[in-house]
Amino acid sequence: MTRPVLEARDLRVAYGGNVALDIPRLAVAPGELVGVVGANGAGKSTLVNALLGWSRGAPSVSGSVRLDGEEIGARPPHARVARGLALVPEGGAVFLRLSVADNLAAANVPRGSGRRGYDEEEVYALFPRLQERLHHAGSALSGGERQMLAIARALRLGPRVLLLDEPSIGLAPRLVSEVLRTVRGLVGPNLSVLLVEQNVRAAIEVVDRLVLLERGRILAEGPAAAMRDDPRILAAYLGEAVA
Ligand SMILES: Nc1ncnc2c1ncn2[C@@H]1O[C@H](COP(=O)(O)OP(=O)(O)OP(=O)(O)O)[C@@H](O)[C@H]1O
């Protein structure tokens, strides 16, 4: 088996006495799109934030995170970004007062990394809408446009692994599949994606492998095709319907 590009082992996050995440192993292979699904509070954001070394509040975090075989679990977020991890947090990370052009210009491949980030032309080819909105402020963008800008900013960093926290949240159903199809198209030999989604139905259409989280633990995981009829996944669908 090829070496995973990203691998977490014994990753545990606790807020006070409450364990929000306890995962023996989670790995992403080169060129793989892995989906992590689960209900509200399952620990999805906690997971991607812990992989980047960031958190809301002050949890205790332990365990190993390896990127391309290098242990980065004790490193601060900026050092992990410099080594090729990028996170688009829930709601997207854009500067609301800056224009689209300035938002893009502010994101650049960390110096000395040897990697290549998306240039402006590549960003516009991926998201033509951003070119049309180039001089609009971040605050004037629609939810979908803001999400595109946040993803574009992350791609400018030239990541090896992109962590996406619920890119479909708040988007109209038609846009959800559009954004997720775009995410699918990003994945290749030089870029793997870990996609966190509450929308199981949409996620299973695009991912290679699915991981189902419940109360911070992995309840089931496997290739998307095999997970489609898994009763635990079907139950997650139903959870979605009543959410
Ligand atoms: N700053 C914090 N302080 C205390 N508990 C927290 C904090 N952040 C998250 N938690 C708890 O950790 C658990 C996992 O939360 P997390 O936000 O990771 O879930 P999630 O799966 O991303 O949910 P959602 O889909 O609603 O974003 C929840 O029980 C939550 O209440």
Give the global pTM.
0.93
Ligand 1 atom 1: residue of nearest CA: 57
Angstrom distance (rounded) from CA 67 to CA 51 = 10
Positive/negative CA dihedral, 225, 229, 235, 240: positive
For the Cβ of 114 lying below 6 angstroms from any atom of ligand 1, the answer is: no
For the Cβ of 44 lying below 6 angstroms from any atom of ligand 1, the answer is: yes
pLDDT at 240 (0 to 100): 61
Ligand 1 atom 30: residue of nearest CA: 41
> Can you spell out the DSSP letters for 11-45?
EEEEETTEEEEEEEEEEE-TT-EEEEE--TTSSHH
Ligand 1 atom 17: residue of nearest CA: 45
For the Cβ of 42 lying below 6 angstroms from any atom of ligand 1, the answer is: yes
Q: Under a CB-based contact definition with an 8 Å cutoff, are residues 179 and 4 in contact?
A: no
For the Cβ of 13 lying below 6 angstroms from any atom of ligand 1, the answer is: no
What's the gap in Å between 115 CA and the centre of ligand 1? 33
Task: Encode pLDDT of 78-92 as tens digits.
Answer: 999 999 999 999 877
Task: Encode pLDDT of 185-234 as tens digits.
Answer: 999 999 999 999 988 889 999 999 999 999 999 999 999 999 888 888 87
Backbone angles phi, psi at 61, to 5 degrees: -120, 130
Judged against a pLDDT cut of 60, whether residue 241 lies above it is answered with: no
pLDDT at 128 (0 to 100): 94
> Any idea which residue has 């998306």 for tokens?
118
Domains of the chain: 6-242 (3.40.50.300)
For the Cβ of 38 lying below 6 angstroms from any atom of ligand 1, the answer is: yes
Instruction: Identify the bridge partners of residue 67 per DSSP, sorted by sequence position.
Output: 6, 70
Report, as an integer, the average pLDDT of 149-157: 96
